[in-house]
């Protein structure tokens, strides 16, 4: 594996410009002071209750995501490029979804194979021919970005269903500003606090035609036991909208209402953080207690907007991922600004053969997996794990893709033995409304806290950092 790209230090001893002030500050700040603020940060997180749940962990149902106080810094120029690439990518995702559920030009042009769509469990035939306001399917996208050198941004994964993590972006900034006012004073950091406002106006802009002039927006959560519940309540609070559960909503005459102490009140837009499968027991999983019976018929009648739309999973599926560069070119006629990780599609015999021969150097992912579960990291795996995976692959090759092990870029991070480089990724949040696509400068930086580890997922021991975009 090549040496990872260090975002702070240039080989030979110089510093990258964006990090110069931070380096000076670190030199002036004694390690005890840093440690003290780190503890203070943890206390704040715990008191505010910014926790998440780890599924399958009965020991503690609520955990803190470790927070690293050293910010990750990017120059304004770097951000401008990334922002352009993200907007391009999300535009393509929306056009792809519109096409898949209507004319299907891209299938006729044989850019994407039919069976990848029609045999995919996240394809929703209910959405065929369904109009969604302003043709926006993915109102909120979280695009996972990694770097391996100073030039390129690479998309690791598109999240077009119910991406989470934005509350950490906002709270990390809040806490950093409280703990390190001096460090902020020495930088010009682009603010992120407009996110809730932009989200609310994006959501309102896609209200159905039958909505009143002041559309009512609500956030639908699976409830307090969901791992991202804190985020749901945080966002509802910041947006000033009701945080509803399925049982708070009823459908009458194809309109959606919430039960209030003054009777029922119509809802026009639902920012839903419930997966497709659980939205409506009459259409999807009949055993879902989280959903709202009849919601899909109100949706079909055009009386409610769901954000994100139903069926967006078909755009962020790992099997579709490898076609994204072609998808961008097909709809926009432009070269993709953001790169893809080279991907072997195990469903193709030639690729499968290569993957089976190189398991010890590749990362193999389940097409439908997420959160870092069910993946093989070849270089770090034992022989037995590799062999077990080989059997799985042979049995169901279409369920997997493989990628080279990327040397993710590193940032300085607090560790038990002082500052040390740790691997990071970045999830910016892209909002699309009726008129525009906006991105708050920054995003959620996730960091693999274990030395050498490449897995940044919070469920697997990852932490977070505040992400600074310098306003030069």
What DSSP element (H or E) covers 413?
strand 410-415
Nearer Cβ to other proteins (221/464): 221
Stretch in the footprint of other proteins (CB under 8 A) among 32-40, 63-71, 90-98, 256-264:
256-264
Minimum CB separation of residue 468 from other proteins in Å reads: 26
d(CA 306, CA 236): 16
User: Six-digit token pair at 15?
Assistant: 């510093």
Cβ within 8 Å of residue 9, ≥6 positions away = 15, 16, 19
Which positions from 12 to 51 touch other proteins by CB under 8 A, shown as an x/- string?
Answer: ----------------------------------xx-x--
Nearer Cβ to other proteins (229/400): 229
From 237, 361, 396, 472, residue interacting with other proteins (rule: CB under 8 A): 237
The phi and psi torsions of 388 (rounded to 5 degrees) equal -65, -40
Minimum CB separation of residue 48 from other proteins in Å reads: 8
From 175, 258, 338, 408, residue interacting with other proteins (rule: CB under 8 A): 258
CA angle 297, 298, 304 (to 5 degrees): 140
Instruction: Return the DSSP state at 139.
Output: S
Interface with other proteins includes 135 (CB under 8 A)?
no
Give the binding-site size for other proteins (rule: CB under 8 A).
21
Stretch in the footprint of other proteins (CB under 8 A) among 194-202, 233-241, 279-287, 377-385:
233-241
The helix/strand/coil state of 71 is: strand
Residue with tokens 């190189």: 358
From 29, 210, 233, 297, residue interacting with other proteins (rule: CB under 8 A): 233
Stretch in the footprint of other proteins (CB under 8 A) among 137-145, 149-157, 222-230, 359-367:
222-230
Stretch in the footprint of other proteins (CB under 8 A) among 2-10, 168-176, 237-245, 279-287:
237-245
Stretch in the footprint of other proteins (CB under 8 A) among 68-76, 236-244, 315-323, 337-345:
236-244
Interface with other proteins includes 224 (CB under 8 A)?
yes
d(CA 172, CA 21): 20
Minimum CB separation of residue 232 from other proteins in Å reads: 10
Interface with other proteins includes 61 (CB under 8 A)?
no
From 126, 248, 277, 348, residue interacting with other proteins (rule: CB under 8 A): 248
From 206, 243, 320, 364, residue interacting with other proteins (rule: CB under 8 A): 243
From 84, 178, 194, 259, residue interacting with other proteins (rule: CB under 8 A): 259
User: Six-digit token pair at 65?
Assistant: 């995501």
Residue 88: name the closest of 409, 437, 322, 412 by CA.
437
Instruction: Return the DSSP state at 212.
Output: -
Cβ atoms of residues 140 and 443 within 8 Å: no
End-to-end CA distance of the chain: 35
d(CA 439, CA 85): 11
Minimum CB separation of residue 64 from other proteins in Å reads: 12
Helices marked H in 73-208: 76-100, 105-108, 114-118, 166-179, 181-185, 195-205
Cβ within 8 Å of residue 198, ≥6 positions away = 431, 438, 440
Minimum CB separation of residue 175 from other proteins in Å reads: 14
Nearer Cβ to other proteins (248/351): 248
From 59, 214, 262, 287, residue interacting with other proteins (rule: CB under 8 A): 262
Cβ atoms of residues 19 and 45 within 8 Å: no
Interface with other proteins includes 229 (CB under 8 A)?
yes
Nearer Cβ to other proteins (67/330): 67
d(CA 184, CA 73): 12
The phi and psi torsions of 298 (rounded to 5 degrees) equal -65, -35
Nearer Cβ to other proteins (283/288): 288
Distances (CA, A) of 459 to 190, 274, 370, 425, 471: 29, 19, 11, 15, 33
Stretch in the footprint of other proteins (CB under 8 A) among 96-104, 199-207, 229-237, 394-402:
229-237
Interface with other proteins includes 247 (CB under 8 A)?
yes
Q: Which of residues 434-453 bind other proteins (CB under 8 A)?
A: none
Q: Which of residues 351-380 bind other proteins (CB under 8 A)?
A: none
**Residues found near other proteins in the complex (CB under 8 A):** 46-47, 49, 223-224, 229, 233-234, 236-237, 242-245, 247-248, 258-262
């Amino acid at each position: 594996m090549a040496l990872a790209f260090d975002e702070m230090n240039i080989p030979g001893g110089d510093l990258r410009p964006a990090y110069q002030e931070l380096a000076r500050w670190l030199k002036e700040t004694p390690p005890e002071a840093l440690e003290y603020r780190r503890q203070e940060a943890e206390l704040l997180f715990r008191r505010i209750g910014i926790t998440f749940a780890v599924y399958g962990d009965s020991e503690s149902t609520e955990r803190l995501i470790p927070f690293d106080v050293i910010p990750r810094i990017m120059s304004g120029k770097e951000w401008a490029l990334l922002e352009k690439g993200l907007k391009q990518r999300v535009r393509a995702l929306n056009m792809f979804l519109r096409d898949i559920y209507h004319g299907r030009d891209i299938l006729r042009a044989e850019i994407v194979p039919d069976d990848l769509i029609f045999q995919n469990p996240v394809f929703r035939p209910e959405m065929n021919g369904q109009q969604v306001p302003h043709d926006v399917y993915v109102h909120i996208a979280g695009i996972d970005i990694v770097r391996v050198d100073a030039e390129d941004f690479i998309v690791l994964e598109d999240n077009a269903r119910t991406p989470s993590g934005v509350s950490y972006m906002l709270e990390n900034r809040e806490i950093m500003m409280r703990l390190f006012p001096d460090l902020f004073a020495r930088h010009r950091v682009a603010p992120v606090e407009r996110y809730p406002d932009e989200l609310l106006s994006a959501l309102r802009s896609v209200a159905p035609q039958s909505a009143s002039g002041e559309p009512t927006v609500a956030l639908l959560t699976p409830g307090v036991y969901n791992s991202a519940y804190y985020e749901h309540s945080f966002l509802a609070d910041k947006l000033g909208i009701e945080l509803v559960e399925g049982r708070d909503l009823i459908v009458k005459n194809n309109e959606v209402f919430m039960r209030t102490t003054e009777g029922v009140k119509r809802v026009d837009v639902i920012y839903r953080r419930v997966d497709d499968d659980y939205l409506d027991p009459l259409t999807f999983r009949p055993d879902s207690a989280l959903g709202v019976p009849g919601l899909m018929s109100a949706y079909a009648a055009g009386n409610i907007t769901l954000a994100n739309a139903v069926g967006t999973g078909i755009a962020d599926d790992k099997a579709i991922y490898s076609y994204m560069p072609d998808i961008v070119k097909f709809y926009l006629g432009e070269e993709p600004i953001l790169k893809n990780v080279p991907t072997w599609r195990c469903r193709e015999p030639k690729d499968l053969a290569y993957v089976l021969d190189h398991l010890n150097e590749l990362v193999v992912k389940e097409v439908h997996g997420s959160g870092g579960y069910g993946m093989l990291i070849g270089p770090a795996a034992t022989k037995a794990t590799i062999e077990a995976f080989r059997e799985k692959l042979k049995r169901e090759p279409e369920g997997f893709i493989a990628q080279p092990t990327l040397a993710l870029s590193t940032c300085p991070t607090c560790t038990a033995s002082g500052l040390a480089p740790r691997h990071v990724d970045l999830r910016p949040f892209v909002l699309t409304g009726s008129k525009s696509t906006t991105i708050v400068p920054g995003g959620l930086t996730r960091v693999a806290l274990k030395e050498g580890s490449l897995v940044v997922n919070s469920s697997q021991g990852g932490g977070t950092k505040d992400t600074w975009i310098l306003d030069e």
